[in-house]
Amino acid sequence: MISQERQKQLRSLLQTLAVELEQYDLLNVALTHPSYVLEKDGAESVHNQRLEFLGDAVVDLVVGDYLFHEFPLKTEGELTKMRAALVCESTLASAARRAQVGSYLLIGKGERSCGGKDRSSNLADAWEALIGALYLEKGIDAVRSVAIRFIMPEIELVKKGYYGDYKTQLQEIIQKNPDDHVSYQILAESGPDHDKNFEAGVYINDEFRAKGAGKTKKEAEQNAAFYTLVQLGEING
């Protein structure tokens, strides 16, 4: 039985999503992290992993359908790269953050104390589970509206030529000249263990080109590669 307070929270989320539901059971499951179930000794017997499985497939379909119709001149290879950029963990986590999903996530105390409510993997999983729940409750049209609207900033980047993996993109460009090479270096890190911030630098032929920041070393390196690609005129900043 979902409490009145929890129903109020879920209604607030639905307002953000611009979706109406008559019942909240599936939505509540979508926002229940496995760690919460473990700490409740089975009192809450269902977590969001099954809905995440379904939502993953739905997101792939919706994004693929959108790209197919929006970019009729793109090749299969280009569309595949674009879709990969739009269904990856970082993009889905960003969508979840825009909807403030972390505020509604039921999560175990241990996971929460380690910053789990803002961890990209948890948010991406919850977003896919949420999409799965909405698909079951409202159908594909309602899901399409939500899934596309909340990743629109990333769609705009894709239109400018960003296909998700800046490091690979940069590496492919540098490798056109066999004598050139690219490397990365972590320049700084700050914050407690559960909420680190990193700054990475890109070096081409050992010459510093740009730096970027992120919550993980990988994210910082990707952002540094992005700014290098902007410098090189490969994508628009």
Read out DSSP for 184-217?
Answer: EEEEEEES-GGG-EEEEEEEETTEEEEEEEESSH
Residue 167 structure tokens: 């490091």
User: Is residue 52 flagged as an active site residue?
Assistant: no
User: Is residue 195 flagged as an active site residue?
Assistant: no
Q: Which residue is catalytic, options 52, 111, 125, 128?
A: 128
Q: Which residue is catalytic, options 56, 125, 137, 154?
A: 56
DSSP 118: G
Residue 28 structure tokens: 């509540």
The runs of H, that is alpha helices, within the chain are 4-17, 25-30, 34-39, 49-70, 76-86, 89-98, 109-113, 120-138, 140-149, 152-159, 166-174, 217-231
Catalytic positions, written as ranges: 56, 128
